[in-house]
Chain A
Protein backbone atom coordinates (compact mmCIF):
# COMPACT_ATOMS: atom_id res chain seq x y z
CA UNK A 1 0.00 0.00 0.00
CA UNK A 2 1.22 3.47 -0.93
CA UNK A 3 -0.30 6.54 0.71
CA UNK A 4 -0.14 10.08 -0.65
CA UNK A 5 -1.65 13.27 0.73
CA UNK A 6 -2.60 16.55 -0.94
CA UNK A 7 -1.70 19.46 1.32
CA UNK A 8 -3.52 21.91 -0.94
CA UNK A 9 -6.82 20.10 -0.54
CA UNK A 10 -6.42 19.36 3.18
CA UNK A 11 -8.78 21.34 5.41
CA UNK A 12 -7.21 20.24 8.68
CA UNK A 13 -10.21 18.30 9.98
CA UNK A 14 -7.87 15.88 11.72
CA UNK A 15 -9.98 12.76 11.16
CA UNK A 16 -6.98 10.89 9.79
CA UNK A 17 -4.90 11.68 12.88
CA UNK A 18 -7.67 10.55 15.21
CA UNK A 19 -7.89 7.30 13.26
CA UNK A 20 -4.30 6.50 12.40
CA UNK A 21 -1.88 8.60 14.46
CA UNK A 22 1.04 6.41 13.37
CA UNK A 23 0.48 7.30 9.73
CA UNK A 24 -0.83 10.88 9.80
CA UNK A 25 -0.07 13.99 11.80
CA UNK A 26 -0.97 17.67 11.54
CA UNK A 27 1.50 20.56 11.20
CA UNK A 28 1.79 22.54 14.40
CA UNK A 29 1.47 25.92 12.68
CA UNK A 30 -1.68 25.39 10.61
CA UNK A 31 -3.14 21.93 11.20
CA UNK A 32 -2.42 20.72 7.66
CA UNK A 33 -1.75 17.01 7.18
CA UNK A 34 1.72 15.50 7.53
CA UNK A 35 2.28 12.02 6.18
CA UNK A 36 4.39 10.06 8.66
CA UNK A 37 4.38 6.73 6.90
CA UNK A 38 3.80 6.45 3.15
CA UNK A 39 4.01 2.66 3.22
CA UNK A 40 2.18 1.60 6.39
CA UNK A 41 2.39 -1.98 7.54
CA UNK A 42 -0.36 -4.50 6.96
CA UNK A 43 -2.14 -4.12 10.31
CA UNK A 44 -2.68 -0.41 9.66
CA UNK A 45 -4.23 -0.83 6.22
CA UNK A 46 -7.84 -0.95 7.42
CA UNK A 47 -7.64 2.29 9.40
CA UNK A 48 -5.72 4.03 6.61
CA UNK A 49 -8.43 3.03 4.11
CA UNK A 50 -11.01 4.36 6.53
CA UNK A 51 -9.09 7.62 6.95
CA UNK A 52 -9.03 8.06 3.17
CA UNK A 53 -12.73 7.24 2.89
CA UNK A 54 -13.85 9.71 5.52
CA UNK A 55 -11.47 12.60 4.74
CA UNK A 56 -13.86 15.53 4.17
CA UNK A 57 -11.49 17.10 1.63
CA UNK A 58 -10.65 13.86 -0.20
CA UNK A 59 -7.01 14.74 0.40
CA UNK A 60 -5.75 11.19 1.04
CA UNK A 61 -5.03 8.77 -1.76
CA UNK A 62 -4.39 5.08 -1.19
CA UNK A 63 -2.78 3.01 -3.90
CA UNK A 64 -3.50 -0.61 -3.10
CA UNK A 65 -1.41 -1.99 -5.94
CA UNK A 66 1.84 -0.56 -4.61
Chain B
Protein backbone atom coordinates (compact mmCIF):
# COMPACT_ATOMS: atom_id res chain seq x y z
CA UNK B 1 0.00 0.00 0.00
CA UNK B 2 1.38 3.42 -0.91
CA UNK B 3 1.10 6.55 1.22
CA UNK B 4 -1.84 7.93 -0.73
CA UNK B 5 -3.98 4.82 -0.33
CA UNK B 6 -4.76 5.24 3.34
CA UNK B 7 -8.31 6.36 2.67
CA UNK B 8 -9.03 3.40 0.44
CA UNK B 9 -10.59 0.28 1.81
CA UNK B 10 -8.01 -1.96 3.43
CA UNK B 11 -8.38 -5.69 3.53
CA UNK B 12 -8.54 -6.89 7.10
CA UNK B 13 -6.74 -8.63 8.77
CA UNK B 14 -3.68 -6.72 7.54
CA UNK B 15 -0.83 -9.09 6.67
CA UNK B 16 2.62 -8.58 8.18
CA UNK B 17 5.89 -9.34 6.47
CA UNK B 18 7.67 -10.72 9.52
CA UNK B 19 6.08 -13.12 11.99
CA UNK B 20 6.96 -11.16 15.13
CA UNK B 21 6.76 -7.66 13.68
CA UNK B 22 3.70 -5.43 13.29
CA UNK B 23 2.54 -4.45 9.80
CA UNK B 24 3.93 -1.05 8.78
CA UNK B 25 0.35 0.16 8.21
CA UNK B 26 -0.38 0.25 11.93
CA UNK B 27 1.75 3.30 12.60
CA UNK B 28 0.27 5.06 9.58
CA UNK B 29 -3.28 4.23 10.61
CA UNK B 30 -2.74 5.41 14.19
CA UNK B 31 -1.26 8.63 12.93
CA UNK B 32 -3.36 9.46 9.89
CA UNK B 33 -6.45 7.31 9.85
CA UNK B 34 -7.41 6.27 13.38
CA UNK B 35 -10.90 5.18 12.28
CA UNK B 36 -10.24 3.32 9.04
CA UNK B 37 -12.61 1.65 6.62
CA UNK B 38 -11.76 -2.02 6.21
CA UNK B 39 -13.13 -4.98 4.30
CA UNK B 40 -13.52 -8.20 6.27
CA UNK B 41 -12.99 -11.75 4.92
CA UNK B 42 -16.79 -11.92 4.39
CA UNK B 43 -16.64 -8.94 2.04
CA UNK B 44 -18.59 -6.78 4.53
CA UNK B 45 -17.24 -3.43 5.60
CA UNK B 46 -16.28 -2.32 9.10
CA UNK B 47 -14.33 0.43 10.85
CA UNK B 48 -10.96 -0.34 12.37
CA UNK B 49 -9.63 1.50 15.42
CA UNK B 50 -5.91 1.32 16.23
CA UNK B 51 -5.14 4.08 18.74
CA UNK B 52 -4.80 3.15 22.42
CA UNK B 53 -7.36 5.67 23.68
CA UNK B 54 -9.89 4.80 20.98
CA UNK B 55 -9.59 1.04 21.44
CA UNK B 56 -9.88 1.42 25.19
CA UNK B 57 -12.93 3.67 24.85
CA UNK B 58 -14.76 1.36 22.45
CA UNK B 59 -14.10 -1.73 24.58
CA UNK B 60 -15.35 -0.08 27.75
CA UNK B 61 -18.29 1.84 26.24
CA UNK B 62 -21.58 -0.09 26.51
CA UNK B 63 -22.97 1.61 23.38
CA UNK B 64 -20.51 -0.51 21.41
CA UNK B 65 -22.24 -3.83 21.92
CA UNK B 66 -21.32 -7.40 21.22
CA UNK B 67 -24.52 -7.97 19.21
CA UNK B 68 -22.69 -9.20 16.13
CA UNK B 69 -25.76 -11.22 15.21
CA UNK B 70 -27.77 -8.05 14.44
CA UNK B 71 -29.18 -8.03 10.91
CA UNK B 72 -27.01 -5.19 9.69
CA UNK B 73 -23.85 -6.14 11.61
CA UNK B 74 -20.85 -6.99 9.46
CA UNK B 75 -20.24 -10.70 9.10
CA UNK B 76 -16.66 -11.58 9.81
CA UNK B 77 -16.46 -14.62 7.56
CA UNK B 78 -18.43 -15.90 4.63
CA UNK B 79 -19.08 -19.27 6.22
CA UNK B 80 -22.71 -19.90 7.13
CA UNK B 81 -21.93 -20.52 10.76
CA UNK B 82 -20.15 -17.17 10.82
CA UNK B 83 -17.41 -18.31 13.14
CA UNK B 84 -17.25 -17.98 16.87
CA UNK B 85 -18.36 -14.35 17.22
CA UNK B 86 -21.65 -14.56 15.36
CA UNK B 87 -22.61 -18.12 16.07
CA UNK B 88 -25.88 -19.18 17.68
CA UNK B 89 -23.95 -20.21 20.78
CA UNK B 90 -22.74 -16.70 21.29
CA UNK B 91 -26.36 -15.55 21.85
CA UNK B 92 -26.93 -17.87 24.80
CA UNK B 93 -24.74 -16.22 27.38
CA UNK B 94 -26.21 -12.81 28.21
CA UNK B 95 -23.88 -10.20 26.76
CA UNK B 96 -24.92 -7.11 28.67
CA UNK B 97 -26.80 -5.73 31.64
CA UNK B 98 -27.93 -7.69 34.68
CA UNK B 99 -27.89 -11.06 32.98
CA UNK B 100 -24.30 -10.64 31.91
CA UNK B 101 -23.33 -9.44 35.37
CA UNK B 102 -24.90 -12.51 36.97
CA UNK B 103 -23.20 -14.91 34.56
CA UNK B 104 -19.89 -13.13 34.88
CA UNK B 105 -19.98 -13.25 38.66
CA UNK B 106 -21.08 -16.90 38.82
CA UNK B 107 -18.24 -17.96 36.56
CA UNK B 108 -15.81 -15.29 37.70
CA UNK B 109 -15.54 -16.73 41.19
CA UNK B 110 -13.71 -19.64 39.56
CA UNK B 111 -11.09 -17.40 38.11
CA UNK B 112 -9.98 -15.39 41.08
CA UNK B 113 -6.29 -14.65 41.39
CA UNK B 114 -6.05 -16.77 44.52
CA UNK B 115 -7.64 -19.81 42.91
CA UNK B 116 -5.29 -19.48 40.00
CA UNK B 117 -2.30 -19.13 42.31
CA UNK B 118 -3.42 -22.33 44.00
CA UNK B 119 -3.23 -24.09 40.62
CA UNK B 120 0.45 -23.17 40.23
CA UNK B 121 1.93 -26.46 41.50
CA UNK B 122 -0.40 -28.45 39.24
CA UNK B 123 0.51 -26.29 36.24
CA UNK B 124 4.23 -26.55 37.03
CA UNK B 125 3.94 -30.34 37.20
CA UNK B 126 2.23 -30.43 33.78
CA UNK B 127 4.93 -28.16 32.34
CA UNK B 128 7.72 -30.32 33.81
CA UNK B 129 6.15 -33.45 32.37
CA UNK B 130 5.70 -31.95 28.91
CA UNK B 131 9.28 -30.63 28.91
CA UNK B 132 10.58 -34.07 29.99
CA UNK B 133 8.77 -35.65 27.07
CA UNK B 134 10.08 -33.01 24.68
CA UNK B 135 13.67 -33.52 25.86
CA UNK B 136 13.30 -37.27 25.55
CA UNK B 137 12.20 -36.98 21.91
CA UNK B 138 15.36 -34.99 21.20
CA UNK B 139 16.27 -31.73 19.53
CA UNK B 140 15.41 -29.69 17.63
CA UNK B 141 11.83 -29.72 18.90
CA UNK B 142 8.69 -27.74 18.21
CA UNK B 143 7.99 -25.94 21.48
CA UNK B 144 4.49 -25.06 20.35
CA UNK B 145 3.38 -28.64 19.71
CA UNK B 146 5.32 -30.05 22.68
CA UNK B 147 4.43 -27.53 25.36
CA UNK B 148 2.39 -24.51 24.26
CA UNK B 149 -0.53 -26.36 22.76
CA UNK B 150 -1.07 -29.18 25.28
CA UNK B 151 -0.56 -27.24 28.53
CA UNK B 152 -3.61 -24.94 28.48
CA UNK B 153 -5.88 -27.75 27.26
CA UNK B 154 -4.79 -29.95 30.13
CA UNK B 155 -5.42 -27.13 32.59
CA UNK B 156 -8.85 -26.14 31.26
CA UNK B 157 -9.97 -29.76 30.80
CA UNK B 158 -9.13 -30.31 34.47
CA UNK B 159 -11.21 -27.26 35.39
CA UNK B 160 -14.17 -28.53 33.36
CA UNK B 161 -13.80 -32.08 34.67
CA UNK B 162 -13.09 -33.44 31.18
CA UNK B 163 -11.22 -36.77 31.28
CA UNK B 164 -7.57 -36.78 30.20
CA UNK B 165 -8.31 -39.16 27.32
CA UNK B 166 -10.46 -36.55 25.59
CA UNK B 167 -7.90 -33.74 25.73
CA UNK B 168 -6.62 -34.22 22.20
CA UNK B 169 -10.10 -34.18 20.68
CA UNK B 170 -10.70 -30.94 22.56
CA UNK B 171 -7.61 -29.34 21.04
CA UNK B 172 -8.81 -30.15 17.56
CA UNK B 173 -12.35 -28.86 18.12
CA UNK B 174 -11.06 -25.70 19.68
CA UNK B 175 -8.73 -25.12 16.73
CA UNK B 176 -11.53 -25.58 14.20
CA UNK B 177 -14.12 -23.50 16.02
CA UNK B 178 -11.85 -20.49 16.08
CA UNK B 179 -10.81 -20.77 12.48
CA UNK B 180 -11.76 -18.11 10.00
CA UNK B 181 -10.33 -19.30 6.71
CA UNK B 182 -8.24 -22.42 7.11
CA UNK B 183 -11.18 -24.79 7.29
CA UNK B 184 -14.29 -24.60 5.16
CA UNK B 185 -17.59 -23.56 6.69
CA UNK B 186 -18.69 -27.18 6.39
CA UNK B 187 -15.76 -28.54 8.37
CA UNK B 188 -16.16 -25.89 11.01
CA UNK B 189 -19.88 -26.62 11.32
CA UNK B 190 -19.18 -30.36 11.64
CA UNK B 191 -16.71 -29.60 14.44
CA UNK B 192 -19.30 -27.44 16.18
CA UNK B 193 -21.84 -30.26 16.03
CA UNK B 194 -19.36 -32.84 17.39
CA UNK B 195 -18.24 -30.54 20.14
CA UNK B 196 -21.82 -29.58 21.02
CA UNK B 197 -22.83 -33.25 21.23
CA UNK B 198 -19.85 -34.09 23.41
CA UNK B 199 -20.42 -31.15 25.76
CA UNK B 200 -24.18 -31.88 26.07
CA UNK B 201 -23.28 -35.39 27.20
CA UNK B 202 -20.65 -34.00 29.53
CA UNK B 203 -23.07 -31.53 31.19
CA UNK B 204 -25.64 -34.32 31.61
CA UNK B 205 -22.99 -36.55 33.18
CA UNK B 206 -22.04 -33.78 35.61
CA UNK B 207 -25.69 -33.26 36.55
CA UNK B 208 -26.00 -36.98 37.29
CA UNK B 209 -22.68 -37.25 39.08
CA UNK B 210 -21.14 -33.97 40.16
CA UNK B 211 -17.39 -33.79 40.57
CA UNK B 212 -14.90 -31.24 41.83
CA UNK B 213 -14.99 -29.00 38.78
CA UNK B 214 -16.37 -25.72 37.49
CA UNK B 215 -19.45 -27.17 35.73
CA UNK B 216 -20.43 -29.26 38.76
CA UNK B 217 -20.09 -26.21 40.98
CA UNK B 218 -22.25 -24.12 38.66
CA UNK B 219 -24.89 -26.87 38.60
CA UNK B 220 -24.86 -27.10 42.39
CA UNK B 221 -25.44 -23.37 42.65
CA UNK B 222 -28.31 -23.50 40.16
CA UNK B 223 -30.03 -25.92 42.51
CA UNK B 224 -29.40 -23.79 45.58
CA UNK B 225 -30.36 -20.42 44.19
CA UNK B 226 -33.06 -21.61 41.83
CA UNK B 227 -31.89 -19.08 39.33
CA UNK B 228 -28.61 -20.51 38.22
CA UNK B 229 -27.63 -21.33 34.70
CA UNK B 230 -29.76 -23.36 32.29
CA UNK B 231 -28.36 -26.42 30.51
CA UNK B 232 -27.83 -24.31 27.41
CA UNK B 233 -26.02 -21.66 29.41
CA UNK B 234 -23.83 -24.32 31.04
CA UNK B 235 -23.06 -25.79 27.65
CA UNK B 236 -22.22 -22.43 26.13
CA UNK B 237 -20.10 -21.61 29.19
CA UNK B 238 -18.12 -24.83 28.88
CA UNK B 239 -17.56 -24.38 25.17
CA UNK B 240 -16.79 -20.70 25.54
CA UNK B 241 -14.20 -21.26 28.24
CA UNK B 242 -12.44 -23.96 26.29
CA UNK B 243 -12.36 -21.96 23.10
CA UNK B 244 -11.30 -18.81 24.95
CA UNK B 245 -8.81 -20.52 27.21
CA UNK B 246 -7.03 -22.88 24.91
CA UNK B 247 -5.83 -21.44 21.68
CA UNK B 248 -5.13 -18.00 23.04
CA UNK B 249 -2.75 -19.18 25.75
CA UNK B 250 -1.33 -21.97 23.59
CA UNK B 251 -0.26 -19.49 20.95
CA UNK B 252 0.88 -16.92 23.47
CA UNK B 253 3.31 -19.41 25.02
CA UNK B 254 4.94 -19.94 21.61
CA UNK B 255 5.01 -16.24 20.77
CA UNK B 256 6.32 -15.22 24.20
CA UNK B 257 9.21 -17.70 24.08
CA UNK B 258 9.98 -16.70 20.48
CA UNK B 259 10.09 -13.00 21.34
CA UNK B 260 12.35 -13.67 24.33
CA UNK B 261 14.72 -15.85 22.25
CA UNK B 262 14.65 -13.65 19.15
CA UNK B 263 17.03 -11.34 21.00
CA UNK B 264 18.78 -13.69 23.36
CA UNK B 265 19.88 -10.88 25.69
CA UNK B 266 16.23 -10.91 26.82
CA UNK B 267 16.43 -14.58 27.76
CA UNK B 268 19.74 -13.97 29.52
CA UNK B 269 18.30 -11.06 31.48
CA UNK B 270 15.61 -13.42 32.76
CA UNK B 271 18.15 -16.11 33.63
CA UNK B 272 20.14 -13.54 35.58
CA UNK B 273 17.04 -12.24 37.37
CA UNK B 274 14.04 -14.60 37.35
CA UNK B 275 12.09 -12.05 39.40
CA UNK B 276 11.51 -10.30 36.06
CA UNK B 277 9.18 -13.10 34.95
CA UNK B 278 6.03 -11.22 35.92
CA UNK B 279 6.79 -7.98 34.09
CA UNK B 280 8.31 -9.96 31.19
CA UNK B 281 5.01 -11.80 30.74
CA UNK B 282 3.08 -8.51 30.72
CA UNK B 283 5.51 -7.00 28.22
CA UNK B 284 5.21 -10.08 25.99
CA UNK B 285 1.44 -9.64 26.01
CA UNK B 286 1.80 -5.97 25.10
CA UNK B 287 4.50 -6.52 22.49
CA UNK B 288 2.71 -9.36 20.68
CA UNK B 289 2.17 -7.97 17.18
CA UNK B 290 0.40 -11.12 16.07
CA UNK B 291 -2.48 -11.34 18.51
CA UNK B 292 -5.13 -12.07 15.92
CA UNK B 293 -8.31 -10.55 14.65
CA UNK B 294 -9.04 -8.17 17.52
CA UNK B 295 -12.47 -7.64 19.05
CA UNK B 296 -15.54 -6.70 17.00
CA UNK B 297 -18.29 -4.44 18.34
CA UNK B 298 -21.64 -3.38 16.88
CA UNK B 299 -23.27 0.03 17.24
CA UNK B 300 -27.07 -0.01 17.54
CA UNK B 301 -26.97 3.79 17.91
CA UNK B 302 -24.81 6.64 16.66
CA UNK B 303 -21.60 7.24 18.61
CA UNK B 304 -18.33 9.09 18.30
CA UNK B 305 -14.84 7.67 18.52
CA UNK B 306 -11.52 9.32 17.73
CA UNK B 307 -13.31 12.43 16.49
CA UNK B 308 -15.36 10.47 13.95
CA UNK B 309 -19.11 10.11 14.23
CA UNK B 310 -20.13 6.56 13.41
CA UNK B 311 -23.70 5.93 12.26
CA UNK B 312 -25.90 3.30 13.89
CA UNK B 313 -25.34 -0.12 12.35
CA UNK B 314 -21.56 0.31 12.19
CA UNK B 315 -19.36 -2.64 13.08
CA UNK B 316 -16.10 -1.59 14.74
CA UNK B 317 -13.00 -3.78 14.96
CA UNK B 318 -10.70 -3.02 17.88
CA UNK B 319 -7.09 -3.92 17.19
CA UNK B 320 -5.59 -4.19 20.65
CA UNK B 321 -2.15 -5.18 19.37
CA UNK B 322 -1.93 -1.97 17.32
CA UNK B 323 -3.10 0.01 20.34
CA UNK B 324 -0.43 -1.64 22.47
CA UNK B 325 2.23 -0.21 20.13
CA UNK B 326 0.86 3.33 20.40
CA UNK B 327 3.68 5.73 21.32
CA UNK B 328 1.08 8.04 22.79
CA UNK B 329 0.36 5.47 25.49
CA UNK B 330 3.68 3.68 26.00
CA UNK B 331 7.14 5.18 26.12
CA UNK B 332 9.31 3.57 23.44
CA UNK B 333 6.34 1.45 22.42
CA UNK B 334 8.44 -0.25 19.75
CA UNK B 335 10.96 -1.55 22.31
CA UNK B 336 10.48 -4.69 24.37
CA UNK B 337 11.28 -3.66 27.93
CA UNK B 338 11.11 -6.62 30.31
CA UNK B 339 10.95 -4.25 33.29
CA UNK B 340 8.10 -2.06 31.98
CA UNK B 341 5.83 -1.07 34.84
CA UNK B 342 3.02 -0.18 35.01
CA UNK B 343 1.99 -1.87 31.79
CA UNK B 344 -1.70 -1.16 31.14
CA UNK B 345 -1.77 -3.05 27.84
CA UNK B 346 -5.04 -4.06 26.22
CA UNK B 347 -4.18 -7.67 25.37
CA UNK B 348 -7.09 -8.84 27.54
CA UNK B 349 -9.44 -6.08 26.44
CA UNK B 350 -10.75 -3.47 28.84
CA UNK B 351 -13.80 -2.66 30.92
CA UNK B 352 -16.71 -4.87 31.93
CA UNK B 353 -15.97 -7.45 29.23
CA UNK B 354 -12.24 -7.71 29.74
CA UNK B 355 -10.99 -11.27 29.68
CA UNK B 356 -12.53 -13.38 32.43
CA UNK B 357 -9.61 -15.79 32.31
CA UNK B 358 -6.80 -13.27 32.46
CA UNK B 359 -5.55 -14.45 35.86
CA UNK B 360 -5.49 -17.99 34.50
CA UNK B 361 -3.60 -16.93 31.39
CA UNK B 362 -1.11 -14.82 33.34
CA UNK B 363 -0.48 -17.63 35.80
CA UNK B 364 0.01 -20.18 33.03
CA UNK B 365 2.44 -17.91 31.18
CA UNK B 366 4.40 -17.13 34.33
CA UNK B 367 4.64 -20.78 35.33
CA UNK B 368 5.70 -21.96 31.87
CA UNK B 369 8.39 -19.31 31.71
CA UNK B 370 9.68 -20.09 35.21
CA UNK B 371 9.90 -23.80 34.48
CA UNK B 372 11.55 -23.28 31.09
CA UNK B 373 14.19 -20.94 32.53
CA UNK B 374 14.96 -23.46 35.24
CA UNK B 375 14.88 -26.62 33.13
CA UNK B 376 16.30 -25.42 29.80
CA UNK B 377 18.49 -22.36 30.46
CA UNK B 378 20.39 -22.98 27.20
CA UNK B 379 17.18 -22.76 25.16
CA UNK B 380 17.51 -21.04 21.77
CA UNK B 381 15.62 -20.79 18.50
CA UNK B 382 16.64 -23.55 16.10
CA UNK B 383 15.86 -21.38 13.05
CA UNK B 384 16.57 -17.74 12.17
CA UNK B 385 13.82 -15.43 13.46
CA UNK B 386 12.93 -14.56 9.86
CA UNK B 387 11.98 -18.17 9.20
CA UNK B 388 9.22 -18.17 11.82
CA UNK B 389 5.82 -18.39 10.14
CA UNK B 390 2.45 -17.14 11.28
CA UNK B 391 -0.60 -19.37 11.34
CA UNK B 392 -3.15 -18.02 8.90
CA UNK B 393 -6.86 -17.84 9.30
CA UNK B 394 -7.24 -17.82 13.04
CA UNK B 395 -9.09 -15.31 15.14
CA UNK B 396 -6.23 -15.93 17.54
CA UNK B 397 -2.81 -15.19 16.08
CA UNK B 398 0.10 -17.55 16.55
CA UNK B 399 3.17 -19.15 15.03
CA UNK B 400 2.99 -22.37 13.03
CA UNK B 401 5.99 -23.84 14.79
CA UNK B 402 8.52 -22.70 17.34
CA UNK B 403 11.64 -24.79 16.59
CA UNK B 404 14.04 -24.79 19.54
CA UNK B 405 17.30 -26.37 20.76
CA UNK B 406 18.84 -26.46 24.21
Contacts and interface: CB of A to CB of B under 8 A. Distances in A.
Interface stretch (B65-73, B106-114, B158-166, B176-184): B106-114
18 contacts: A11-B352, A11-B353, A12-B109, A12-B112, A13-B354, A13-B359, A28-B112, A29-B109, A30-B106, A30-B108, A31-B108, A50-B342, A53-B344, A56-B349, A56-B350, A56-B351, A57-B350, A57-B354
Contacts of A14: 111-114, 116, 358-359
B111 A31 contact: yes
Contact of A54 (B104, B111, B343): B343
A32 B109 CA distance: 8
A49 B104 CA distance: 26
Contacts of A18: 113, 117, 359, 362-363
A15 interface: yes
Given A11-B353, A14-B112, 13 more contacts: A11-B108, A12-B105, A12-B109, A13-B348, A13-B359, A15-B359, A17-B114, A21-B113, A31-B105, A32-B105, A56-B358, A57-B350, A58-B60
B308 interface: no
A11 B341 contact: no
A54 B342 contact: yes
B355 interface: yes
A25 B114 contact: yes
Contacts of B341: 50
Nearest to A30: B105
Interface in B77-117: 104-106, 108-114, 116-117
Interface in A17-53: 17-18, 21, 25-32, 49-50, 53
Residues of A contacting B: mostly: loop
A31 B109 contact: yes
Contacts of B111: 12, 14, 31
Report the interface size class on chain B: 20 to 34
Nearest to A24: B113
Interface of B: 60, 104-106, 108-114, 116-117, 341-344, 348-356, 358-359, 362-363
B359 A56 contact: no
A26 B344 contact: no
A33 B344 CA distance: 18
A49 B343 CA distance: 11
Contacts, number: 81
A60 to B, nearest CB: 12
B141 to A, nearest CB: 31
A13 B344 contact: no
A14 B344 CA distance: 14
A50 B339 CA distance: 13
Tell which of B104, B344, B355 has the most Cβ of chain A within 10 Å: B344
Given A11-B351, A28-B109, A53 B362 contact: no
Nearest to B345: A54
> Which of A29, A31, A53 counts the most B-chain CB atoms under 10 A from its CB?
A31
A14 B108 CA distance: 10
A31 B108 CA distance: 6
Nearest to A28: B109
Contacts of B359: 13-15, 17-18
A30 B342 CA distance: 26
Contacts of B349: 56
A27 B105 CA distance: 10
Nearest to A29: B109
Contacts of B113: 14-15, 17-18, 21, 26
Contacts of B60: 57-58
Given A31-B109, A57-B354, A11 B342 contact: no
A26 B112 contact: yes
Contacts of B106: 30
Centre residue among A13, A17, A27, A54 by max chain B CB count within 10 A? A13
Nearest to A14: B113
Contacts of B354: 11, 13, 56-57
Most chain A CB neighbours (cut-off 10 Å) among B105, B108, B354 = B108
A23 B4 CA distance: 52
A12 B116 CA distance: 13
